[in-house]
C-alpha cells in the first residue's frame, strides 16, 4: 500500500464522522519539500474553517500512526472547479457535466477525451466526446479524469 492509500485509510473514519468526503490524497515532492495534499469536500462546501479543522484532526491522526518517516507539509484543500474524478460515485455526481478523461489504453486510437458525461454504470462511463461522439470507458482504464471548467 502506497503512502496516499495508507493516509486515506487512516483518516477515512475521521472524515466520515465529520461528514467530509476525501476526494483525493497526493504525496508529492515540490520545491525540495514533501507535500501531503488532501482534497476534501462536504455537503455544505469547503471553506477555510473546515480546512483548518480537518488539518488539525487529520494531522493528529496521521502523527499518531506515523506512516510518513520524512518531514512533510500537510495541505488540506478543496478539489476546486477542475475537480478530479476517481470513483464511480464521483462520476455519478457529475453526470451531465463536461469532463476531460485520459486513458491508459487507447480506445479507437484515442487516449484523450473531452465531452459531456452522459452515463455511469457497472464501473464504466459514457462520454459524448467532441471528436468521436459516444465513447464507453472502463473506470479502471482511466489514468486521469476531471471536470472541465472551461465548458
Instruction: From 26, 13, 19, select the one nearest 86 (Cα to Cα).
Output: 26
DSSP state of 133: E
- Render pLDDT for 5-25 as a digit per residue (tens, 0 to 9): 999 999 999 999 999 999 999
- Render pLDDT for 94-150 as a digit per residue (tens, 0 to 9): 999 999 999 999 999 999 999 999 999 999 999 999 998 999 999 999 999 999 987
Characterize the bridge pairing of strands 21-30 and 33-41.
Answer: antiparallel
Q: For the chain, list the domains and their CATH numbers.
A: 3-77 (3.30.300.70), 88-147 (2.30.30.180)
Instruction: Determine the average pLDDT of the residues in 22-45.
Output: 93
- CA–CA gap between residue 25 and residue 68 (Å, rounded): 14
In the chain, count of helices (H) and strands (E)?
Answer: 3, 8
Beta bridge partners of 126: 119, 136
Amino acid at each position: 500500500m502506497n503512502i496516499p492509500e495508507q493516509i486515506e485509510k487512516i483518516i477515512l473514519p475521521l472524515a466520515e464522522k465529520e461528514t467530509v468526503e476525501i476526494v483525493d490524497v497526493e504525496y508529492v515532492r515540490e520545491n525540495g519539500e514533501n507535500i501531503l495534499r488532501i482534497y476534501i469536500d462536504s455537503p455544505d462546501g469547503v471553506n477555510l474553517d473546515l480546512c483548518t479543522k480537518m488539518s488539525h484532526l487529520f494531522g493528529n491522526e496521521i502523527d499518531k500512526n506515523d506512516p510518513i518517516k520524512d518531514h512533510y507539509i500537510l495541505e488540506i484543500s478543496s478539489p476546486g472547479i477542475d475537480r478530479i474524478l476517481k470513483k464511480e460515485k464521483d462520476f455519478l455526481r457529475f453526470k451531465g457535466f463536461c469532463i476531460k478523461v485520459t486513458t491508459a489504453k487507447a480506445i479507437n486510437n484515442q487516449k484523450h477525451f473531452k465531452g459531456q458525461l452522459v452515463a455511469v454504470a457497472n464501473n464504466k462511463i459514457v462520454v459524448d466526446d467532441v471528436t468521436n461522439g459516444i465513447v464507453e470507458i472502463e473506470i479502471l482504464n482511466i489514468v486521469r479524469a476531471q471536470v472541465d471548467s472551461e465548458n
